[in-house]
Chains A and B, each alone.
Chain A
Amino acid sequence: MKKKLTLYMLVASIGATGLISSCTDLDEEVYSEVLASSFHPTEKDIPAIVAPVYASFRGLMMGWQGYFDLQEESADAIITPARPNGWYDGGTYLRMHEHRWDPLQWQPENTWQSAYRSITTANRVISQIEDGDIAIENGKESLMAELKAARAFAYYLLLDNHGNVPIVTDYRDASLPKQSTRQEVYDFVIKELTDALPLLSDDPSSTYGQLNKWGVKALLAKIYLNAEVYTGTPQWEKCIQECNDIISSGKYVLDPNYSDVFTWTNQNSKEIIFAVPYDEIYGPQNQVHMKTLDPLSRFVYAMQAGPWGGNCAVPQFIDTYDEEDGRLGDTWIMGPQKSATTGEVVIDYQKDVPSMAGTESNDGYRIGKYAIKMGATGGLDNDYPMFRYADVLMMKAESLLRTGRAAEAAELVSQVRERAFRATNPDKAVVTGDELMQGSTYEYGYQEEDGSITDKQGGADIKYGRFLDELGWEFAAEAHRRQDLIRFGVFSTKAWFNHRPSDPTKTLFPIPEGEISKNPNLTQNPGY
């Protein structure tokens, strides 16, 4: 009997063991991820492989505390004051306004992280193509050129904001990167872009949202325009040359209406040269309306989201506008706002803002440049125009102005102003070279709670100040202002709203504290 029993046990054990296929098989079965070892990309996968290089620009540009905030809130046109519903947020917006950010400030770090995410992704894809992991028959060179151009664009953001950053080009090298000087970064970016140019597509229609030949030329023009800031050596002629190439190509024109450039169908714009495309469904990170609109404005646009009600225009900046300039109304949401369904006034936006510390929910004009369509969701459909034709004209105009050709510059500026005054007073569109040589009409100084200005500085002393004003009106709320203020020597020298003159070192943001502590090769920028 015992034998029989032992047999039973044995059979039972074997049976049970058989329930589980193998007793020590610890290989992972992967279901919801794509294993590198079993994925062999073909050409149809290339768009998906390239996409992440561009994807991080989307969250960066118009996303939460992104590049837009970095360029605008440190400058003289847009602020995020504390509101009855909050927006003190540990003083982060106040620090942006007062130029008191430190190496822990998130907005500059956000730009760093996003730029390097694009760079690292580009490096990875480049090395995978080089190593043959991604096999491409046709168009390999133009794809490589585009990846390098996109990478150079990301480096341009770092060049402009952080200056002295590490240049990393090899994905296979995981060693701690060395820091480069701003000059080295400048040289690297110029060389990469110049090398890429001849290999890039020159067809705007098939490359929207990607870097084509003209996007790269506009980028080069932008870098040359700011070359003096970056390297100490101006490059006005080179800037003019790149602009001329774009103008003479005939590929781009000014859109008939200023507002066409920014609307939710602006992918059809003939003016935009390089855009960061957004989409309600596929790329919903354009939150500019969410941050600026008061929650009540949702009724005005029958929105499918409740906006947060934060940033607004600096009253002193609004005061610089000509009342007949159509761009004032095309850029800012002002006055009473009516419900789309009942027609009742739900909120009345006032120009005045008492201070960074205390405001009412309707204080300050709101950003309306990126037209909000009825039924908008939390992410706008409007694409962000990184470079547009008017920008090319103005870059050329500035270079001409700064090299003694004010009259030629004035012609270009008048060309850009034309549509702004077409409906109101076309004569006002025309400016002269002499006017462009004048100072700024911005009443720089500290704004008290009652709206009066103390410690008045004005803008008359700003060289080509009038041209700076022109840039302000044309490019307000396009994340240009910080760079322009730096180029015109205003950024750290003037007071506006609750901001007082800061220090020249603030023209560069700090290297993020986190990155310095992770990489001992990095040295902090001066002044931090």
Chain B
Amino acid sequence: MKWKLVKQIFAMSSYVLLYNVVPCIWSGTALANSGGSRFVAVADVQVSGVVTSSEDGNPLPGVTVLVKGSTTATATDAEGRYEISVPESATLVFSYIGFTPQEVPLNGRTQLDIKLLPDQKQLQEIVVIGYGTQKKGDVTSSVASVKRDEFTKGAVRDAAQLIQGKVAGLRVTTPSGDPTANTQINLRGITSINGSSDPLVLIDGIPGSLNTVAPEDIESMDVLKDGSAAAIYGTRATGGVILITTRKNRGERSSIEYNTYVNVQTIARRPELLTGDDYRRLIQEEGIDYTDYGGNTDWLDEIMQTPVSQNHNLTFFGGNANTNLTASLNYRKWEGILLRSGQERFTGRVDLNHSMFDDKLRANIQIINRITSAKQGGADGYAYRQAIIRNPTDYVRNEEGGWQQRDGYFYENPVSRIYEANSENVVREMRMSGSLDYTLIKDLDLKLLVSHNEYSSLSGYATTFNHTDTWLNNRNSNASRGTSANRQNLLELTGNYSKSIGRNRFTILGGYSWQDEISEGFSSSNWNFPTDAYGWNNLGAGQALQAGQADMDSYKEKWQLAGVFGRLTYSWDDKYLFMASLRREGSSKFGVNSQWGNFPAVSAGWRISKEPFLQNVSAITDLKLRAGYGVTGTIASNPYQSQISYNFTRGNGAYIGGQWVPGFVPARNFNPDLRWEKKEEYNAGLDFAFLNNRISGSVDVYRRHVNDLLYNFEVPTPPYLIGSMLINAGTLQNEGLEVLVNFVPVQNTDFTWNSNVTYSTNRNKLVSLSNDQFEATNDFFTSGYTGEPIQDYTHRVEVGEPIGNFYVWKTVGVDENGGWLIESKDGEVIPINDAKQEDRQYYGNGIPKHIVGWNNSFTIKSFDLAVNMRGAFGYEILNFQRMFYENPKNPAYNMLKTAYDPVYGQRLNSDLVYVSEYIEKGDYWKIDNVTLGYTLPSDLLSFVKNARIYVSGLNLVTITGYKGIDPEGVNYTGFNPGNDERDKYPTTRTFTAGLSVRF
């Protein structure tokens, strides 16, 4: 061992020496030559060239250039250039840390430019875990890591879409085509009733969101999936943790990158509605009571546009080994498929690194500034509904050129709504953070991280005099303005000690964390303005506020979170791995007696491939068995839930003593005993790599119990004032299996094919819903709502049953009068008018049982092709589109072409009603993203290091039996998953063309 160390030190010193003498070589002092005289070199030739990185085309300084089989060597200079005198038949070996060594026979050449491939394996090795990194081989819990080169290419909405379908168990979907909407993300099922199931997102260790930084600015994303990995983040980690690492300058990279794309969108699938001609035919042939205004208007066309969006990203790397920076500027302008909808976004980021005192002290400052602004019209789900139900024989405008309005219940000209309303929403986020990392003594690092984030929003909304609000409600210009501001502080102190003694290797981490946030806001509305020219910019000019009709509101709240944590990892001979961690965390959101909670975790791993009996099996590259257990928590969403407090409200006021007074009422049913939700999770997994990493992957099984669920428990009235109360009651269980397989079917110089498959399945169950305080209670609650005119709930969540069950009257036929026949609870066929609540039954579930992703990337010479596919199976969707529009009963509203089709052999003559007929199989397979890229020849333009052009299609093909717009454009979180709502912003298909250049 001692000898080994000496050898290493020796090797290192010689490398440093070599590096230092490089300039000498260039200045012409032929150090190598003088050395060379010792060899009998018959016919030496001068060889020179430039070594660059194949990743970004940057020159690589300090690359060792060695003549194979000799000690003759040199190194590249700062511009990556080298010159060496070698025998004619020599083979040169180029090697550099972090890159795959390359052997090149000279074959008579004297000019040899080399592109070194980054050693993917080496980079892949590092996995970001909470408060540090770990080598992949050492990881004992369930952590998924996706690096930049594996990200989804093309126009992505936010960070989540970069890893869509690439992390088993993490589901990412886009439920809305609204350019201002976010992706929907869920890891390992639903974990909370009252709190959020969303994962904690940390950007370089600081809490943020999936769109805090531009997707282009992200280096890697790591997902802590199981409890043993996430427990170090305690109470915020039940939904999992996503660690986003931004791009950092490594070493002396100096380059400018520019990425851009332009895209267009089309609606994913158009509902087929009756046209004006259909109306006239039905009036004539069947005497249907439609009104024919004579026109033929395609209302969906009238409210849609062909959106053209663009994105520009400029990234700059510079500096030297001691001080360097990464700076980026991102501008994105997205248009929506509905008229006058879109969003503009600027994101700027500067990341500065500086090291001093022989690299003992490392400092980082990062500033991220993001401004999104959405200036839009009145395009929303309601306008979309109006376009669907509006009479297709009607006109957009009347003869006088004004909007053609008609009477009707919730019946408004959708185009007028879009043009006569204006809104603006500006969000500004400023994030400042700094860290100092100091190596106190050998092996001991201390780190201080502080950050301050400011987030504010300012919104305005106003209607003109020509808006339907004037016509319907006699409100002359209805304007509102709202603003909110959040300030969040974070301070973290960590110490990290790592040591190897013999074959023992261990690390100890200890830390303290503090987080607080203040949120406040103000909003006001007013109407009846003398002019609509003001918009929201002169609220005082309206009359409604003065008349007491309009509202004004403000609020402020604050919460604090403190934690201390520690972690120990130990490994013996890289073979037996162990990790234990504990976080003790306190939140102000809970009662004084239950503020603090402990969140422990343990995990262990066994690298079987390191055992002697497998060491000689060459097919097995790596094989590791691991198991872990961890506890995480969920905080109540809102602060003050345990406070005994009151409010003065107008709603609870009354006419007392001859005047109206506000009412003084308790803010809630008091529960000072509120405490954490706790999730306990067991996870076992297997990591494998065969055939020299040609096949690799992992398998995980888990079971998680969420205890002390925070739930708005139904309490009896009397004795309670309000029929529900937030208490800790109940247990939720999730269990599942996740598989990830990476394989490389073809790997040639000219053609490589990388492929990976993810599969996950999850089964959840509400185990109990009770509390020692309240024994007798419903063992179920209802969820989901159809909206008018059906006015019914859609789901029931019952103890012992999975979440997401539809609870509905099951249709079995239609009688001769066109009325639904349903199955009663006794199994008899009865008319729906005789149906009772107890005849409802479970029918399908909105959460997919199986989720599959299959991602492929091909490189054929200078071409690259990525094909990402994704599917979900074993679930149902409630198709609101059919429930509301596939029914000919109400000729006042337009409907689907299929409305007149017979159902069970009969034409329907029934009021709109929620029945099982509208619950459909949701299974789908999507060819989601196909990207074809071409890397331009490097010698095309001398000043360009690398240039690539690409075209990409997103949400290209969906293979499904589902009749709605998009089986994936459906909400699947919460307790009413699978409701494909009526009022929606339709999802789209996107075609993108892009360019990226490196200078």
Closest to A57 in B: B654
A25 partner residues in chain B, CB cutoff 8 A: 560, 562
**Complex contact A281–B663 (CB within 8 A):** no
Report the Cα distance A25→B561, complex, angstroms: 9
B558 contacts A by Cβ under 8 Å: yes
Contacts A33-B643, A88-B912; is A177 near B774 (CB within 8 Å)? no
Partner of B892, one of A85, A89, A176: A85
**Complex contact B648–A34 (CB within 8 A):** yes
B489 partner residues in chain A, CB cutoff 8 A: 19-20
Report the Cα distance A238→B562, complex, angstroms: 68
Q: Can you name 13 A-B residue pairings with CB atoms under 8 Å? A: A12-B448, A16-B448, A17-B493, A36-B644, A39-B646, A47-B657, A55-B653, A82-B911, A90-B791, A102-B836, A282-B655, A517-B777, A518-B714
Partner of A49, one of B557, B645, B664, B911: B664
B658 contacts A by Cβ under 8 Å: yes
> Looking at the complex, which of B36-44, B99-107, B718-726 is the stretch in contact with chain A?
B718-726
A280 contacts B by Cβ under 8 Å: yes
B382 contacts A by Cβ under 8 Å: no
B662 contacts A by Cβ under 8 Å: yes
A45 contacts B by Cβ under 8 Å: yes
> Looking at the complex, which of A203-211, A426-434, A446-454 is the stretch in contact with chain B?
A203-211
Contacts A20-B491, A120-B720; is A309 near B409 (CB within 8 Å)? yes
**Complex contact B789–A89 (CB within 8 A):** yes
> Looking at the complex, which of B468-476, B852-860, B963-971 is the stretch in contact with chain A?
B468-476
Among A6, A29, A54, A515, max chain B CB count under 10 A is at A29
Q: How far is the CB of A6 from chain B (nearest CB, A)?
A: 7
Give 1 or 0 for each of B702-726: 1 = CB within 8 Å of chain A CB.
0000000000001111111111000
B555 contacts A by Cβ under 8 Å: yes
Report the Cα distance A55→B655, complex, angstroms: 9
B667 partner residues in chain A, CB cutoff 8 A: 33
B207 contacts A by Cβ under 8 Å: no
B748 contacts A by Cβ under 8 Å: no
Closest to B717 in A: A116
Q: How far is the CB of B213 from chain A (nearest CB, A)?
A: 24
Closest to B563 in A: A24
Contacts A5-B361, A85-B892, A86-B789; is A36 near B646 (CB within 8 Å)? yes
**Complex contact A173–B719 (CB within 8 A):** yes
Report the Cα distance A60→B409, complex, angstroms: 25
Partner of A26, one of B491, B560, B776, B836: B560
Contacts A90-B792, A91-B833; is A304 near B473 (CB within 8 Å)? yes
B892 partner residues in chain A, CB cutoff 8 A: 84-85
B448 partner residues in chain A, CB cutoff 8 A: 9, 12-13, 16
> Looking at the complex, which of A240-248, A295-303, A407-415 is the stretch in contact with chain B?
A295-303
**Complex contact B645–A36 (CB within 8 A):** yes
Partner of B778, one of A166, A375, A377, A514: A514
A50 contacts B by Cβ under 8 Å: yes
Q: How far is the CB of A513 from chain B (nearest CB, A)?
A: 8
Report the Cα distance A117→B721, complex, angstroms: 5
A53 partner residues in chain B, CB cutoff 8 A: 654
Besides the contacts A1-B357, A36-B645, what 9 more A-B pairs have beta carbons closer than 8 Å?
A: A9-B361, A26-B562, A30-B645, A52-B663, A54-B656, A55-B651, A88-B790, A303-B473, A304-B474
Q: How far is the CB of B12 from chain A (nearest CB, A)?
A: 23
For window 1-49 of A, CB contacts with B under 8 Å fall at 1, 5-6, 9, 12-13, 16-17, 19-20, 23-37, 39, 41, 45, 47-49
Q: How far is the CB of B374 from chain A (nearest CB, A)?
A: 28
Interface, chain B (partner A; CB < 8 A): 357, 360-361, 407-411, 436, 438, 440, 446, 448, 450, 472-475, 489, 491, 493, 512, 514, 516, 520, 547-549, 554-560, 562, 586-589, 595, 639-640, 643-648, 650-667, 714-723, 774-778, 788-792, 833, 836-837, 890, 892, 911-914
B549 partner residues in chain A, CB cutoff 8 A: 280-281, 304, 377
Closest to B408 in A: A85
Report the Cα distance A516→B296, complex, angstroms: 56
Interface, chain A (partner B; CB < 8 A): 1, 5-6, 9, 12-13, 16-17, 19-20, 23-37, 39, 41, 45, 47-56, 58, 82-92, 94, 102, 104, 112-113, 116-117, 119-121, 124, 166, 168, 171, 173-177, 205-206, 208-210, 277, 279-283, 295-296, 298, 302-306, 308-309, 357, 375, 377, 514-515, 517-520
Report the Cα distance A36→B559, complex, angstroms: 19
**Complex contact B716–A176 (CB within 8 A):** yes
Q: How far is the CB of B500 from chain A (nearest CB, A)?
A: 23
Among B474, B667, B715, B778, max chain A CB count under 10 A is at B474
**Complex contact A518–B778 (CB within 8 A):** yes
Report the Cα distance A512→B22, complex, angstroms: 89
Partner of B656, one of A9, A51, A298, A377: A51
Closest to B363 in A: A12
**Complex contact B652–A29 (CB within 8 A):** no
Contacts A90-B791, A177-B718, A519-B776; is A209 near B648 (CB within 8 Å)? no
Closest to B441 in A: A2
Report the Cα distance A282→B548, complex, angstroms: 8
A16 partner residues in chain B, CB cutoff 8 A: 448, 450, 491
Report the Cα distance A124→B652, complex, angstroms: 15
Closest to B591 in A: A28
Partner of A33, one of B645, B650, B720, B911: B645
A519 partner residues in chain B, CB cutoff 8 A: 716, 776
B595 partner residues in chain A, CB cutoff 8 A: 26
Partner of B665, one of A121, A277, A520: A121
B723 partner residues in chain A, CB cutoff 8 A: 113, 514
Contacts A51-B653, A90-B913, A92-B791; is A5 near B717 (CB within 8 Å)? no
**Complex contact A282–B837 (CB within 8 A):** no
B664 partner residues in chain A, CB cutoff 8 A: 34, 41, 45, 48-49, 51-52
B645 partner residues in chain A, CB cutoff 8 A: 30, 33-36
Contacts A47-B661, A515-B717; is A85 near B410 (CB within 8 Å)? yes
A88 partner residues in chain B, CB cutoff 8 A: 789-790, 911-913
**Complex contact B436–A9 (CB within 8 A):** yes
**Complex contact A295–B656 (CB within 8 A):** no
Q: How far is the CB of B699 from chain A (nearest CB, A)?
A: 41
**Complex contact B357–A5 (CB within 8 A):** yes
Closest to A277 in B: B655
Contacts A5-B360, A34-B647, A92-B791; is A52 near B652 (CB within 8 Å)? yes
Report the Cα distance A84→B406, complex, angstroms: 14
A375 partner residues in chain B, CB cutoff 8 A: 474
Partner of B438, one of A9, A48, A119: A9
Closest to A282 in B: B660
Contacts A36-B646, A102-B836, A280-B549; is A26 near B587 (CB within 8 Å)? yes
Report the Cα distance A503→B489, complex, angstroms: 66
Contacts A26-B588, A90-B792; is A104 near B837 (CB within 8 Å)? yes
**Complex contact B718–A517 (CB within 8 A):** no
Closest to A306 in B: B472
**Complex contact A298–B472 (CB within 8 A):** yes
B789 partner residues in chain A, CB cutoff 8 A: 85-89
**Complex contact A166–B718 (CB within 8 A):** yes
A87 partner residues in chain B, CB cutoff 8 A: 789
A91 partner residues in chain B, CB cutoff 8 A: 833
**Complex contact A121–B721 (CB within 8 A):** yes
Contacts A20-B489, A85-B892, A120-B717; is A296 near B474 (CB within 8 Å)? no
Contacts A50-B656, A88-B912, A304-B475; is A33 near B640 (CB within 8 Å)? yes
**Complex contact B718–A116 (CB within 8 A):** yes
Closest to A170 in B: B719
